[in-house]
Structure 1
């Protein structure tokens, strides 16, 4: 575990769920407003959990009226949960890997509503990325080195 993983994990344990969710939801909503990330209708009214396994981070959010919003934080299950490590999410964001590749390498798991999972998969793979996003995500991968084989 790197220093950044340790630090984020410790901070995460002390933060209430809304504060953990805020950075991702604000980023998703900003990208939506900029026209870079338009959620398909199938996401409307659905709840999601994004888990960064190596950091012990879970972010809950939902989509309502085409907008991303935090929560619910009532402890109920979500319609769809994505599990991956930070490095896998960065590869997905940068466009260096797609959901199928990560799924078949067992670096991404999807739990919940299968039809919704497929909708999200197609949406993530097809979503256009701003030119600056790939290089930024690639730089951030330096903070999360690949695990060494045993």
Structure 2
């Protein structure tokens, strides 16, 4: 019997074990830099309801967790958050599912009901974030248009 070709899970497994050992602040700084870039480019303007709230985003297949907050319309990394500290809203999915959300090729409801997007914490805040992201127009280069 010939060996099976590796799938994406096999390829990401070594990265996931490394990702679990990276401090949340280090990982968070990179995501926040991307969010701040999108905000400066006017692609992603946080609504006032996000002010003072904290967020945790877990990229499950990479073993990464990003923790950040929104203060005065700006995204800020949570430098001292641990990998277990809870945030107001926690969102988790695989990297490919987050990419599909960002491109607009998949919606959060579909991923949630397929159990590919996990949400916990403040459900009202989760709905605000979902509606905000759904209403945000994506740049042409991101959506492939």
TM range (shorter): 0.7 to 0.9
Segments of structure 2 that go 5 or more residues without pairing to the other structure are 1-8
Secondary structure in 1 matching 2:137: coil
Q: CA RMSD in A?
A: 1.5
| Of 41, 48, 52, the match for 1:34 | 41
* Greater Cα offset, 104-113 or 42-51: 104-113
Segments of structure 1 that go 5 or more residues without pairing to the other structure are 136-150
Moved over 6 A (4+): none
2:103–2:142 Cα contact (<8 Å) kept: yes
Secondary structure in 2 matching 1:60: strand
Query: Take 2:71 and 2:36, find their aligned partners in 1: how far apart are those partners?
Result: 11
1:49–1:82 Cα contact (<8 Å) kept: yes
Secondary structure in 2 matching 1:132: helix
2:18–2:63 Cα contact (<8 Å) kept: no
Rg: which structure is higher? 2
| Of 31, 34, 40, the match for 1:24 | 31
Aligned to 1:8: 15
Secondary structure in 1 matching 2:20: helix
Query: Take 1:51 and 1:132, find their aligned partners in 2: how far apart are those partners?
Result: 25
Aligned ranges for residues 1-150 of structure 1 at < 5 Å?
1-3=9-11, 5-71=12-78, 73-75=80-82, 76-135=85-144
Secondary structure in 2 matching 1:78: coil
Query: Take 2:80 and 2:15, find their aligned partners in 1: how far apart are those partners?
Result: 20
Query: Take 1:72 and 1:80, find their aligned partners in 2: how far apart are those partners?
Result: 17
* Greater Cα offset, 116-125 or 71-80: 71-80
Deviation at 1:22, TM superposition (A): 1.6
* Greater Cα offset, 47-56 or 59-68: 47-56
1:46–1:79 Cα contact (<8 Å) kept: yes
